[in-house]
Structure 1
Amino acid sequence: MMMRILILLTSLLLATAAVSAPLRIKITEGVVEPLPFAAPSFIADNAAGAEYAKALADIIAQDLTGSGLFRQIPEAAHISKITSFASPVQYSDWKAINAQALITGTVSGSATGQITVKFRIYDVFAGAELGKGLRFTGSADGWRRMAHKVADVVYGRITGESGYFDSRVVFVSETGRKGARKKRLAIMDYDGANVQYLTDSASIVLAPRFSPTGDRVLYTSYETGFPHIYLLDVGSVKRKVLQNSAGTMSFAPRFAPNGKSVVYSLEQGGNTDIFLMNFSLGKSRRLTNAASIETAPSFSPDGSQIVFESDRSGSQQLYVMSASGGSPKRISFRDGRYGTPVWSPRGDMIAFTKQNKGRFHIGVMRIDGSKERLLTASFLD
């Protein structure tokens, strides 16, 4: 029987030095019990802040709960009522309802349309505050993003991992009736809010990718009738084509981790290879040269290696090579066809799609191809 693991902040704060250090949770087996936390409505310092006090706390709680690692204790169950940001915390009241973490905050607004959010994070069982002087200031129009930033800090202080709530998703939006569907490039907050369209529906767009800094997007468009790669600035929505030489098709772009170059596939004369383009130089360099289809390249987090798919062995398989080119090494050897590999942020795993015996899968493996594990099995993955 698997051991149930209850995450306790107390055990992470036994030493005095640990109070200000990032908390790290390592789980080797068992089931994670979501950490109970309380996030009362923030206190409004003035009338301008009253509009955002409850909404901020609600978004923060939704972010944390949605991660699966936290469980919110309803405000109706709270014994203590936070009426002042400066008041001492009554730890016994929060322990009584089994809250292991407490998040309190205050928000104030200004005549210039700015808001300031101050917040505190407490380890209830240890009776300790996890950091002091936590605050964000920004435009009131961006209050949702400010809430996501607070949630990122809370997530990081408790888990030791970087939060992901203040992130956006770039995607292809498809709307309209059957037979007249429109595809547009769009971005939104990670939780689906603040959708913004970046292109019109005049041409098909595919496979958008954010730059590491989130200010640019690479995507493939059929604007000329053939697929070519475009680079779009999110702020200005200005774009430019990166590669449109006559008789070629370019697709499957991905940024390098430093954002200074792009790796992509180029089809010319019936052959598809992987190329690398440096943005500042505007020149491309061939990385593979084989009589096969080489596509879906993805950088390792440190930018030193590239994983891609190729049918050079006779079937669709995964290969790893140096980011400067050279001899690729095959890493997939089990039954089936492998595709669309993506390196994990930690650099220790590669995710992929797989087709085998009429079934579609999403799986992961070590970067050397070992420890392959299929996560899904259906006809649509």
Structure 2
Amino acid sequence: MSQTEVARAESLDEQDPHWREKDGDRKPKSRRPANTAFRQQRLKAWQPILTPKTVLPLFFIVGIIFAPIGGLLIWASSQVQEIVIDYSDCKDEAPWAPETSPIADRVRSSFKSSKSTSIPMWQKRWENKTLKGTSQRKNTTICSLFFDIPDPIGPPVFLYYRLTNFYQNHRRYVQSLDLEQLKGKPLDNNTISGSSCDPLRIDPVTKKAYYPCGLIANSLFNDSISYPNLVNIGPYVMTNKGIAWDSDKELIKTTKYKPWEVVPPPNWKERYPNGYTDDDPIPDLHEDEEFMVWMRTAGLPTFSKLSLRNDTAAMEAGNYRLDIDDHFRVTEYGGTKSILISTRTVMGGKNPFMGIAYVVVGGICIVLGALFTVAHLVKPRKLGDHTYLTWNSEHPSTAIATGRDDRLGSNTL
């Protein structure tokens, strides 16, 4: 193709990019992109030039904004009143009632007032109790915690249980459940066998499916926490309704299984020693918000899960007693368990980390801005100064002679 023909083709490309398709018999198709701003990379773009006059103010602006925000977050966190009591070893170390022993080293509290009228204590006792949600009775270790609330707190008031060294974020643990089963569908054994409930899918003895199947449900936190009882006055009534997310309530439904079609998970055998029966029917998980809270796995090995709440009445100051049915063993895997009674602010519970992070970032920006400003004033640098370019500097070569003559292709001595 001659230069004239090439020029004519390019001209036609600009006028009508599809002319080759219309006249394909005469001219071959071109691989040249269409002559548009996008195809030819002629779109307008903003490329800011970073200069001291634009960068230094940004450091100070970020510092001035972040530092006060961090201070407000730290202040909001300090307004949360809470008490945390570790009762991991209560079953093994607490004295039998009526004796008590101090546990000040196991208690951490944060209240507006530092006054306290009593030392935290604990004790344990045996009691024949009906297991939660069933007709079964069992001799249970009751751990009693005695503590002081120096100031009225709330409402709202929340009671959590806190576990440490419990890895709910393990991949196999997180995946060990069947969403279809939790939605109430009566899945057959073949379906359960192919689900992600492994390794707790089918009972090896009865050959029936577990309900609910999987590791998460099997390891359900089963300590029963009673209402805090104000000594000589009465209980501070709380509820376990409204502790789960609405999305969890939409996910977990009442099952359509019949009692004889499924069996409880291995760790539930204490509550259901004879399996699901007419006296101890299949639990309605759609109404069990504590189960829903447990099934929403935590992302870290130390976590707190809501157990009880009171949104209407304040928790009065005074000496309290809290009874806990101690079933959940944590010492076997080196973990701990605690109860946490807390209030909240508009920023949530007590957690100063975010505030500290904002203050640190703001402080670093102000310090860097000050240092760079001083450096710019003391030794300013001209914008676009070519003397800072190393590729164009006339420095003597630092190459080491190797004694090789490339032209001759031989070594010289």
Q: Into which bin does the TM-score normalised by the smaller protein fall? A: under 0.3
Task: Tell which has more relative contact order, 1 or 2 (C-alpha 8 A, sep 6+).
Answer: 2
Q: TM-score, normalised by structure 2?
A: 0.20
Larger Rg: 2
Higher share of residues assigned strand: 1
